[in-house]
A and B are shown apart, each in its own frame.
Chain A
Amino acid sequence: MTSLLEARSIGKTFRSSGFFRRTSNVALADFSLSIDEGKPILTAIAGESGSGKTTLTRLLLGIIEPTDGAIHYRGTDLRAMNHAQKRQFRQEVQAIFQDPFEVYNPFYKVDHVLRTPLAKFGLAASEADARRQMEAALEKVGLRPEETLGRYPHQLSGGQRQRIMIARALMLNPKIIIADEPVSMVDASLRATILESLLTLHQEFGISLIYVTHDLTTAYQLCNDIYILYRGSIAESGDVTEVIKDPKHPYTQLLVGSIPLPNPDQRWGADQPTPKTMRSAAASGCLFADRCPYVMDRCLASVPPMIALSPTRGAACFLYDDDHAAHSTRDGVQQHSR
């Protein structure tokens, strides 16, 4: 099986060179992901603002270059691609962005956003063929072409606009779609239809989907696997049902406990302490140490590695380090907390 997209321990550090001092900010560290052809994935990347999820999206799309590691597409480093390879990458890896209002030029009809990629990649033999392809793609995402084509963006709802973006991506026969918060700006009642369209793309056309979000509920509903990012590093990863139903990393536990459940009888994180600090300043150890209720001395001293909990599951937390787990009860752990 050939590897389609492969990210090998990629990282991105943003450096700014001020006049008096240089600052560097690690937006993403040591992230790996592999998508094989013929084995499409349905993966969620979840995290709060500042977790590095947008940086990761931009890296995977080749918009920015990693400062560590490398991203390969069909075996070639994104940075070393020739023109033809780049073109293929641009066609086969598609993006859907958060804001369905900003991606449209308000002076053009929505047809423009669909016709341009067809022309750019030479996918339509004639105007009639282009029209036919546009209509077919719109129907696949549940829109009626006669109600959509020929309209201006302001005449359509946010949900319709976002589905047109999915149709646009679909027309190019992509292998991978990277969707960065595709439903966060869409009305709750329309979210379901968009997520359904995305799921259809995966199930019917075998397209790999990377769903980048802050919303664990929709990640749970849509995806098979999940990566939980915290300040640029993977805190926990694995099967989405296992991670959300039985979170292991204290950060994942905090996130899951903070989901406002749509059930008045099930109280919000009733079993969980609210973390005290809102600022963070871990210098050398675990990035979550200052908010963690189970923090230990070693958490402040060194960064926990990804510890395998099962063949498909991992958490970057010393609580699951076997050498230590034997003699660390929660009570024992807490006396070390600051």
Chain B
Amino acid sequence: MSDLTLKVDNLHVHFPTPAGVVKAVNGVTFTLRQRERLGLVGESGSGKTTTALALMRLLAPPARIPHGSMILDGVDLLALSEEKMRQARFAEISMVPQGAMNSLNPVMRIRSQFVELFQAHGQFTSSSDIDARIASLLEQVGLNPSVAGMFPHELSGGMKQRVCIAMAVALRPKVIIADEPTSALDVVVQRQVMETLGRVQEALGATVILVGHDMGLMAQFVDRIGVMYAGRLVEVGPVRTIFRTPKHPYTQMLIASIPTLEQKKLFKGIPGVAPSLLNPPSGCPFHVRCDQRLEHCSRIVPDSIALSPDHWVACHLYPKEEHHDQPA
């Protein structure tokens, strides 16, 4: 397919610890089309941020990627040399990190931080040229160009977040990873920042991966959702399908637990706690908390099954044969 931007295949991330190997990401496979917005959701510890960092190849040792490939426009990011990968960051694939507002250097003016970015990618031309580019980037995210002369502490949280978005798109990357870009912001500012991110992405024709656990934000922003549990992608599908007819029992509980303005005094949580990634349960990692568990769920890890060309689920409730043989 020509419109495929990113193909992640069987990605694993391991953290060796004195107690054993923590398999933070355990065989994640997904593809991204051009201009698409994918949401990665899951509880803390489900591996969504680790997946995002792996895509940027920003995992610090001792983390390792023992298997997998991440092919961006025909190039396997895992096969690149460290220097080639450094060049690819921001230019090909960029990231708005979690708590991005704290990622700005507090003692440098915004302008200098942009200049640093351009210089690191060999794009320094004349000073006036750079200023014009910074001004247009700031305007693109709804900020006054005078922000370039300010220090981070002079900006509000929402403004800093916009600066980070401007930096993430400065080199016109193909993929933008936004890891909980608004978790520290108030709702009104959150909406403004997400609208900004969406507008900039459309102008650029880039693909966005939104990492987070706010299902409301996902419903409002993404086209497809991937649900992660214990380092695995348990269900992937179009956003409407996931919200209307979730198939995996975990997704079903996740959707049912979202507080809405439809019901009062009725709280549905997900019983139990997320499994340890050091000693994950055998079989399906969710079987311990699952209310629709079958006898073999504790023994066999379910494969991903396509329920429709765009909707994948890894659960024994949906056996392979059924979808080929039985009439609907």
Contacts and interface: CB of A to CB of B under 8 A. Distances in A.
Interface stretch (B1-9, B113-121, B190-198): B190-198
B253 interface: yes
Nearest to B256: A192
Interface in B198-226: 213-221
A28 B260 CA distance: 30
A48 interface: yes
A91 interface: no
A32 interface: no
Interface stretch (B55-63, B96-104, B263-271): B263-271
Contacts of B254: 188-189
16 contacts: A49-B186, A188-B43, A189-B253, A190-B269, A192-B267, A199-B265, A199-B267, A220-B264, A221-B265, A222-B265, A245-B261, A260-B190, A262-B260, A264-B239, A274-B191, A278-B158
Most buried by B among A216, A220, A254: A220
Interface centre among B192, B220, B257, B274 (most CB of A within 10 A): B220
A307 interface: no
Contact of A261 (B216, B253, B264, B268): B216
B269 A259 contact: no
A278 B192 contact: yes
B259 interface: yes
Given A188-B257, A192-B257, A214-B186, A221 B216 contact: no
A191 B214 CA distance: 12
Residue of A49, A189, A192, A264 with most partner-chain B CB within 10 A: A189
Given A187-B43, A269-B191, A260 B217 contact: yes
B279 to A, nearest CB: 14
A261 B189 CA distance: 15
Interface residues of A, number: 44
Nearest to A51: B186
Q: Which of B191, B253, B267, B268 has the most chain A CB atoms inside 10 A of its CB?
A: B267
Interface string A16-56: 00000000000000000000000000000000110000000
A244 B194 CA distance: 23
A199 B263 CA distance: 14
A259 B187 CA distance: 6
Interface string A84-110: 000000000000000000000000000
Interface string A119-136: 000000000000000000
B187 A48 contact: yes
B243 interface: yes
B187 to A, nearest CB: 4
A217 interface: yes
Contact of A188 (B188, B215, B266): B215
A219 B194 CA distance: 23
Contacts of B191: 258, 260, 268-269, 274
Interface string A150-177: 0000000111100000000000000000
B177 interface: no
Given A241-B264, A260-B217, A188 B258 contact: yes
B264 A221 contact: yes
Interface in A161-209: 187-193, 195-196, 199
